[in-house]
Every structure is written in structure tokens, then in C-alpha cells.
Amino acid sequence: MLKQVFQAKVFNFGQNTTKMNIENFREYCLRKTGVTEEFPFDENTLVFKVKGKMFALTNLEGEWSLSLKCDPEKAIELREQYHAIRPGYHMNKTHWNTVLMDGSLNEKLICELIDHSYALVVSKMPLRLKKELKL
């Protein structure tokens, strides 16, 4: 069933951008060291965690969006610069952004936002967990 949902959510971006779909997003997150995926809230919200700490969420139904952790100052800058980046939906709006996957953002930027979220979560971990990640 997940495979069908992932394959169905393909979005063609406009000129000078590349394609990002939910399966590519999932694979990108899972390639990161120590990442797991789960459905802790409901069957429609896929959550990615590093060492048990959330860094990315996405919905499997409705309009596709991502929720990503973000440095508060950077979050404000991104929201001012991109219409598709908004305060985190159902999240702490200071530390989380919701990224509308409407085709207006290119894949490179989306990957940078995922990387930033992952790095931010890892940076706050105790040294013991960081050592386990071998980063």
C-alpha cells in the first residue's frame, strides 16, 4: 500500500527545477545515518526520526507537504523568501516549517532543508548518541 501511495504522489516542477516525489523524499531521508520511519500519530502521517528524535514528517493523503525542523532565524528568512514555506502546521511554529510541495521549490532546496533539519536535531543530541552515529 505504501508503495502505491509513494508512486501516486509525483509532482512535476516548473522550468529550471527538478522532480521530487514522496518516494524520493522517503529514500533521501532513510539514507541518512541512524534514521528510522514510523507512523506514531496515525496511518497518514509518516515520521522520520534520527535516534528517536523527529526531524521530518509528511502526509500521505491530501495536498502533499513536509514538516521540517529549522533554526528559528533561518525559518523566518525562508518564510519571507518562499511562499511555499510556512510556519509548522500542528508543530512549534518557532522551530518547525511546513513546506508545501506545490512545485514552486526545486529539489536542491528541498534536500538542503532536509539536511538542515537532520543536522539541527543531531546537533542537540548528547555526545553519546552522536558517537553512535559516527558523524
- The tens place of each residue's pLDDT in the chain, 135 residues long, gives 344 344 334 333 333 345 789 999 999 999 999 999 999 999 999 999 999 999 999 999 999 999 999 999 999 999 999 999 999 988 988 899 999 999 999 999 999 999 999 999 999 999 999 999 987
Residue 130 lies in a domain: no
One-character DSSP codes across 88-123? PTTS-TTTEEEEE-SS-S-HHHHHHHHHHHHHHHHH
Residue 96: which CATH number? 3.90.1150.30
The total number of structural domains that make up the chain: 1
Instruction: Say if 132 falls within a structural domain.
Output: no
CA–CA gap between residue 126 and residue 10 (Å, rounded): 37
How high is the pLDDT of residue 14?
35
Is the residue at 27 inside a domain?
yes
**1: its cell numbers:** 500500500
pLDDT of residue 37: 98
Q: Identify whether the C-beta of residue 34 lies closer than 8 Å to the C-beta of residue 52.
A: no
**Which domain does 77 fall in, by range?**
2-9+18-124
Query: Is 111 a domain residue?
Result: yes
